[in-house]
Amino acid sequence: MALPRVVAVAHGSPADRAGVLPGDEIVALDGRLPRDIIEYQLLADQERLGLEVNRGGLELALNVEREGGEPLGLEIDAALFDRVRTCDNHCEFCFIHQLPKGMRKSLYVRDDDYRLSFLYGNFTTLTRFTEADFERVVSEGLSPLFVSVHATDPEVRARMLRNRRGATSLRWLRALLDAGVEVHGQVVVCPGVNDGGALEGTLAGVLDEYPELSSLACVPLGVSRFNREASMRPHSPQEAKAVVDLVEEWQELFLRCLGRRLVYAADEYYLLAARPFPLLESYGAVAQHDNGVGMSRAFEASFEGRNLVEERTGPSGFFRSLEGAPALGYRAPRQAPEAVTLSPARWAGVTVLTGEYGARVIEPLLAPLQEDVRVVAVRNDFFGGNIAVAGLLTGPDVAAALADLPRGRRYLLPDSCLSGGRFLDGSSIGDLPQPVEVIAADGASLRNAIAPALGLATAR
């Protein structure tokens, strides 16, 4: 088990007053070495705390005193201090199997760890979930969790996961729901495998066996040019329409039976089917926003300064803000440390760089402005296949697009394609042929970035 390492200490915080320094390794908190950041938060929740640290081989005992619930003031280098639990599945549609060689090591980790599900919204199949895990989830109130359902038919599910435990692991979903844990589900829909009748069977299975599920997202599989599974292919527009039709039919049924829609199709399906997105109101709390469900409508609304999505799903109650947790995982706030702000005097218009899907959402919002604000859809040649979301844009594709674009314009790039200032391929915005400004991937941030130049009101 690795010792948690302190990467930052907030100035004037209880940890700072006690003398903790960046680089210190935590040996014990209140006499115990926490397994993960969740246990760390539970152990640290007291006014007086004994902290043992290792500083360059020297063991120090420090006394931390907190006043009135103030945060400890530490940032730790990892969320899990023991080993991340990796999955024992071999899904045909797994995107990790479709990554090229040579990317960051962490991208190849196939985690199936309920703690990362709780902390960052990663989906777990529950095939490695145990009685001890169940007890911990319930006793520590680790809710909500995110579960990959894929199919409720045991045989179809086991086949999709290529794991016989896939046939039985949804019994844990039933147990979690019985224990009152909030669970969001997803179905990665693979044409010819779990769409059509199989998807209808899954929706019927959810209504019958798991009606307490908070939401169920139907998302299309991603197929990169590195895919080696012959049976995995992108949906045709016709197949996408069939998924949307089926989901909308079942939404009506869920509404009648449960008083809520429960199941949603990802935005990608509406784009592929050339159908308008449902109204934002129909997405409820837009709980699977980060899974691409209702994201476009939420973007529009926040761009127009309407009704921002505030009820975002994440750790709840005591864990609503996780002290010390590093910004890992796709649901974590992304940082743009290398963002460049260009002087307004240098602008000769604004260009928003985004993925091909993002461009289809943003273009209609900017069109009525009648100003020199353009959108460039960056094609994803790095991954190829049907990959068109902004979050999977890489440095080489953005660089290729920028190389063909005029100098002197202000270029905006969403932060969703960066983690710690780096693209998935490891390059950084400093490697791009022109300077770009990195902005948060939401409508309000886009509006606020362009509003002063266009004389628009900023969004809240």
Which range in 91-99, 113-121, 237-245, 435-443 contacts ligand SF4 by CB under 6 A? 91-99
Q: Rule CB under 6 A: say whether 89 interacts with ligand SF4.
A: yes
Instruction: Give the residue with the Cβ less far from ligand SF4, 94 or 262.
Output: 94
Q: Rule CB under 6 A: say whether 15 interacts with ligand SF4.
A: no
Question: What is the pattern of x (binds ligand SF4, CB under 6 A) and - over residues 108-137?
Answer: --x-x------------x------------
CA 449, CA 438: separation in Å to the nearest integer? 10
Residues contacting 202, CB < 8 A, separation 6+: 149, 150, 151, 152, 153, 187, 194
Instruction: Give the residue with the Cβ less far from ligand SF4, 112 or 397.
Output: 112
Q: Rule CB under 6 A: say whether 18 interacts with ligand SF4.
A: no
Which range in 49-57, 82-90, 131-139, 232-240 contacts ligand SF4 by CB under 6 A? 82-90
Is residue 410 within 8 A of residue 345, CB to CB? The reply is no
Q: Which of 1, 21, 61, 96 binds ligand SF4 (CB under 6 A)?
A: 96
Phi, psi at residue 422, to the nearest 5°? -120, 145
Q: Rule CB under 6 A: say whether 170 interacts with ligand SF4.
A: no
Instruction: Give the residue with the Cβ less far from ligand SF4, 113 or 397.
Output: 113
Which helix (H) or strand (E) element contains residue 54? strand 48-55
- Calculate ∠ Cα 114-35-25, nearest 5°: 135
Token pair belonging to 126:
């529950």
Instruction: Give the residue with the Cβ less far from ligand SF4, 21 or 96.
Output: 96
If binding means CB under 6 A, how many residues of this protein chain bind ligand SF4?
Answer: 9
Q: Rule CB under 6 A: say whether 169 interacts with ligand SF4.
A: no
Instruction: Give the residue with the Cβ less far from ligand SF4, 44 or 87.
Output: 87
Instruction: Give the residue with the Cβ less far from ligand SF4, 94 or 181.
Output: 94
Q: How far apart, in Å, do the first and last CA atoms of the chain sit? A: 44
Which helix (H) or strand (E) element contains residue 62? strand 58-65
Which residue is listed with tokens 């069109």?
367
As measured in angstroms, the least distance from the Cβ of 90 to ligand SF4 is: 6
CA 451 to chain centre: 28
CA 455, CA 453: separation in Å to the nearest integer? 6
Phi, psi at residue 379, to the nearest 5°? -75, 140
Q: 369: exposed, middle or buried (C-beta count within 10 Å: 0-12, 13-18, 19+)? A: exposed
Instruction: Give the residue with the Cβ less far from ligand SF4, 125 or 224.
Output: 125
Q: Rule CB under 6 A: say whether 287 interacts with ligand SF4.
A: no
Q: 313: exposed, middle or buried (C-beta count within 10 Å: 0-12, 13-18, 19+)? A: buried
Q: Rule CB under 6 A: say whether 87 interacts with ligand SF4.
A: yes
Q: Rule CB under 6 A: say whether 293 interacts with ligand SF4.
A: no
Q: Rule CB under 6 A: say whether 35 interacts with ligand SF4.
A: no
Q: Which chain residues interact with ligand SF4 by CB under 6 A?
A: 87, 89-91, 94, 96, 110, 112, 125
